[in-house]
């Protein structure tokens, strides 16, 4: 999916989709990274409901999530029991020296 166009989003609307949440957060990272990483998404990507066949978050969810810093995300996901975990950097492979 391509990055969303910069469509104006108002904070007083009742529902927000994932793209609107990303825009509200200030495009915290690349759209592709945000879309794949549940840890960065509101409620770990678990929508509050469906509106017009699409998953949406409520205004309350977005207002709580928008003010979180990176340090607050672990507590936030624990509170909402999302199961989302932060990405860990790939482990460095050690080179094995072979003795011939």
CB 66 within 8 A of CB 52: no
In a domain, 74, yes or no: yes
In a domain, 45, yes or no: yes
In a domain, 66, yes or no: yes
In a domain, 29, yes or no: yes
- Give me the domain span that covers residue 39: 15-80
In a domain, 39, yes or no: yes
CA distance 33 to 60: 24
In a domain, 100, yes or no: no
In a domain, 99, yes or no: no
* Total count of domains within the chain: 1
Give the predicted TM-score (pTM) of the model: 0.74
Neighbours of 39 (CB within 10 A): 17
In a domain, 76, yes or no: yes
Per-residue pLDDT of the chain (100 residues; tens, 9 = 90+): 555 555 566 788 899 999 888 888 876 788 888 888 899 899 999 999 998 899 999 999 999 998 888 889 889 989 989 888 887 766 677 777 667 6
């Amino acid at each position: 999916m391509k990055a969303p166009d910069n469509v104006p989003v108002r904070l007083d609307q009742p529902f927000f989709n994932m793209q609107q949440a990303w825009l509200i957060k200030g495009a915290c990272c690349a759209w592709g990274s945000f879309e794949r990483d549940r840890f960065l998404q509101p409620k770990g990507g678990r929508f509050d409901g469906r509106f017009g066949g699409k998953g949406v978050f409520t205004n309350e969810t977005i207002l709580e999530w928008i003010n979180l810093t990176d340090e607050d995300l672990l507590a936030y996901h624990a509170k909402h029991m999302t199961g989302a975990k932060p990405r860990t950097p790939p482990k460095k492979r050690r080179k094995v020296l072979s003795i011939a």
